[in-house]
Amino acid sequence: MIRWEHDAGILLGVLMVLWGFCTPAPAAVPRAAEAYRRDLTREARAVWGLQAPVATFAAQVHQESAWRPEAQSRFASGLAQFTPATAAWISGAYRAELGTGDVFNPRWALRALVRYDKHLSDRIAGAASACDHWAFVLSAYNGGPGWVERDRALAASRGADPSRWWGHVERHSARAAWAFAENRGYPRRILLVLQDEYAAWGPGVNCP
């Protein structure tokens, strides 16, 4: 049995080696995505301004649901894959924008996704770069902001740089193994693989 609090970095190292040898080919933009391009651009700019990272949000929707508004997983539903609890919370926190909420309504899901990302972004401070910052944001979207703070604190306690995601915080966590693998793959796939496929949609996050 893995002593997870000590060996998360080892598992990540294995995952990164496998990633290096088996990096997936860039995924083609699903035909269904084009139907939502205008809506996503409008909602992103309404929340983030004209320089909203639309390509990043598009990659995130791609990762969450492959642009299927009817998508359902064990815990979440819709284009943005909100859990019932998160959908209820964000509808209450941003009632003027989001109303009562309907995870299966594409327009609501897109606005909720960009608003939740903004909520998380505004509360994550001290990242070393824009790419690190967005990795923290996406990790929080996937697994919860409390976990990001715990992971940063754990990384710092082990001598890693809590301002850097890549190669630092991403290697440290006390999450269950399955949750760790899913969470670390989430920002990596969005920022380093899928985002480039949506470059024509608008700005993205610069991740050299």
**C-alpha distances out from residue 164 to 41, 84, 182, Å:** 29, 31, 19
In single-letter form, the type of residue at position 178 comes to: W
Tell me whether residue 4 is in a domain. Answer: no
**What single-letter DSSP state applies at residue 24?**
P
Tokens of 175: 């999450």
pLDDT tens digits for range 102-117: 999 999 999 999 999 9
Tell me whether residue 5 is in a domain. Answer: no
Q: What's phi and psi for 82, nearest 5 deg?
A: -80, 140
- Structural domain boundaries enclosing 26: 12-201
Tell me whether residue 207 is in a domain. Answer: no
Tell me whether residue 136 is in a domain. Answer: yes
CA distance 193 to 128: 21
Q: Which residue has the tokens 């269904």?
A: 32
CATH of the domain at 170: 1.10.530.10
Are the C-beta atoms of residues 88 and 101 closer than 8 Å to each other?
yes
Tell me whether residue 19 is in a domain. Answer: yes
**Region 161-190 average pLDDT:** 98
**C-alpha distances out from residue 7 to 1, 12, 13, 187, Å:** 10, 9, 10, 20
pLDDT tens digits for range 38-82: 999 999 999 999 999 999 999 999 999 999 999 999 899 999 999
pLDDT of residue 139: 98
Total domain count for the chain?
Answer: 1
Tell me whether residue 42 is in a domain. Answer: yes
CA distance 202 to 195: 10
Tell me whether residue 27 is in a domain. Answer: yes
**C-alpha distances out from residue 161 to 90, 154, 164, 170, Å:** 31, 10, 6, 10
- Going by C-alpha positions, the residue among 70, 51, 75, 38 that lies closest to residue 204 is 51
Are the C-beta atoms of residues 134 and 191 closer than 8 Å to each other?
yes
pLDDT of residue 11: 54
Tell me whether residue 108 is in a domain. Answer: yes
Confidence of residue 30 (pLDDT cuts 50, 70, 90): very high
pLDDT tens digits for range 1-22: 334 444 555 555 545 544 443 4
